[in-house]
Amino acid sequence: MTRRCIEEFPAEVLKLFDAYIHGVLSRRGFLERAARHAAGMAGAAAMLAALTPDYALAAEVATDDPRVAASYVSYDVARSGDTIRGYLVHPAQGKGPWSGIVVVHENRGLNPYIEDAARRLAVAGYVAFAPDALTPLGGYPGNEDEAMRRFAALNPVKRTADLLAAVPFLESRPECNGRVGALGFCYGGGIVNLMAVHFPRLAAVVSFYGIQPSAADTARIRAPLMLHYAGDDARVDEGWPAWKVALDANHVRYREYMYAGAGHGFHNDTTPRYDAAAAKLAWSRSLDFFAHNLGRAAAER
């Protein structure tokens, strides 16, 4: 399997794809508009297939890697009445308990890329928990179009409540020492920003190209933040200047990084939008940030 380069796609097609995966544009709408920049509808369909995540390219840490122990567990959410399934993974060696990190997915549910991110954190010495907001509709279906359809069909208020509830759930787990952070990508980046609002006790929050909370909500944030933004991501980036003002006004501790030339989703190594240099630098910075604020497993200290 090989990943196509982002430079192979016209800039307008990439904008259309961003609108499509975020529900602004239908599949049909994408194909019809992209056809103007390709060899008709067939060429547009080929571009869409190439831009769609190929999870065979993922798994930096294999599912059966002996360094990690993984399982699927569930928790009940009183506010929504839902029972949510998630992926729990921690170091295979050592007795723990470990500092914990909630990992929140994009707008397509708990896919293999997000599970791999959780395993990477386990290799780094944490217990990671990645909830699946699609659980009420059967979970991540293995098909991107169906995953987006299910995601859009969820009640957004209940969906947010289901994901926020992952924080106290992880804190309560025997594998966790009670010190918890959060990591999110795209839609999940916005959710972990909200987690910082709702859970001032969080030890560290890392958001990749996430939508920003309101100025009023920002006043409630106490956790230190690390914010990764793509330089070529106008939809998300336009909210940053106002949020910076709110963060500074409320004396929130944060580190913000803008990756010039990178596009939205640059950390996702299963698509042509992946930017290896930006992704590796952002991940290294994130691990250093978690290490500073969360510490290591009890057995390693």
SS3 12: helix
Residue 270 burial (10 A CB sphere; 0-12, 13-18, 19+): buried
| Strand 127-131 relative to strand 204-208, pairing | unpaired
| Domain extents in the chain | 8-51, 57-300
* pLDDT tens-digit series, residues 130-162: 999 999 999 999 988 899 999 999 999 999 999
Decide if pLDDT at 128 tops 60: yes
Percent of the chain clearing pLDDT 70 (strictly above): 96
Residue pLDDT, tens place only, 37-84 = 777 777 777 777 777 777 777 678 999 999 999 999 999 999 999 999
Q: What is the reported pLDDT for 4?
A: 64
Structure-block tokens of residue 207: 């958001």
Please calculate the CA angle 194-153-52 and round it to the nearest 5 degrees: 85
With H, G, I as helix, E, B as strand and everything else as coil, classify residue 21: helix
Q: Do 161 and 80 meet the contact criterion of CB atoms below 8 Å apart?
A: yes
Token pair 């804190």 is at which residue? Answer: 171
Cβ-contact 76, 166 below 8 angstroms: no
- Rounded Cα gap, residues 45 and 49, in angstroms: 6
Question: What are the backbone dihedrals phi and psi of residue 82, each rounded to the nearest 5 degrees, phi first?
Answer: -90, 155
* Angle between helical axes of 27-34 and 40-51 (0-180°, round to 10): 120
Residue 205 CA to residue 286 CA, distance in Å, equals 9
Determine the Cα–Cα distance for residues 211 and 72; give it in Å rounded to an integer: 28
Beta strand segments in 133-196, E: 176-185
**Per-residue confidence band for 229, with pLDDT thresholds at 50, 70 and 90:** very high
Name the β-bridge partners of 230.
Answer: 259
Q: Report the pLDDT value the prediction gives residue 41, as an integer from 0 to 100.
A: 75
The pTM (predicted TM-score) of the whole model is 0.89
Reported confidence tier of residue 298, pLDDT bands at 50, 70, 90: very low
Q: How far is CA 85 from CA 184, 201, 239, 296, in A?
A: 17, 24, 32, 26
Q: Per-residue pLDDT averaged across 277-295, rounded?
A: 96
CA 90 to chain centre: 18
CATH of 57-300, one of 3.40.630.30, 3.40.50.1820, 3.20.20.70, 3.30.70.260: 3.40.50.1820
